Amino acid sequence: MSAMPRGIRNNNPGNIRLSGVKWVGQAFGADPDFVTFDKPENGIRAIAKTLYSYWLDDGIHTIRGAIYRWAPATENNSAAYAADVAKQVGLGPDEFTGLNPILHDLVVAIIAHENANYAYDAGVIEQGLSLAGFETNEPQGTAAA
């Protein structure tokens, strides 16, 4: 039996790298490169907060723009990643879009891409988005950690 993907083991399904950001639910983990969260819902919250930062603070409004920022070409095949995620979301990678209508599907697609098609139960996704403050599908301003 194969080991669970790193992002699932770390409750960090977006594979968010360690940085100076102190995330809600960040826990001590043995991974020297990636954040470990106390539960997957807080990892999902972090994905949503990061994506909102891209849209609201950085002016990114396409899946390609978000994925190239999320998974830089210096470390990833960003073009293939963006194409895969866009297909899962049902948009072209360069379609200009607001985040609210696609947030749920974009988060699910990033998790699947980052974790060998792993999928959480819908309730886990919804709880993570709710923790991020986006259950109402209304932007909440700047996306703080």
Three-state SS at 17: strand
143 in a domain, yes or no?
Answer: no
Instruction: Dump pLDDT digits (tens) for 3-49.
Output: 899 999 999 999 999 999 999 999 999 999 999 999 999 999 999 99
Q: Is residue 96 part of a domain?
A: yes
DSSP for 84-104, written as a single string: HHHHHHTS-TT----STTTHH
Q: Residue 134: which pLDDT band, with cuts at 50, 70 and 90?
A: confident
Q: Predicted confidence band at 136 (pLDDT cuts at 50, 70, 90)?
A: very low
* Confidence tier at 135 by pLDDT (50, 70, 90): low
Is residue 136 in a domain?
Answer: no
Please check whether residue 80 lies inside any domain of the structure: yes
Decide if 1 is inside a domain.
no
pLDDT tens, 73-131? 999 999 999 999 999 999 999 999 999 999 999 999 999 999 999 999 999 999 999 99
More confident residue, 143 or 122: 122
Q: How many domains does the chain have?
A: 1
Indicate whether 103 belongs to any domain. Answer: yes
How far apart CA 48 and CA 55 sit, in angstroms, is 11
Domain interval for residue 11: 6-131
> What's the whole-model pTM score?
0.91
∠ at Cα 13 (110, 59), nearest 5°? 50
- The answer to whether residue 144 sits within a structural domain is no
Domain annotation covers residue 138: no
Mean pLDDT, rounded, for 131-140:
62
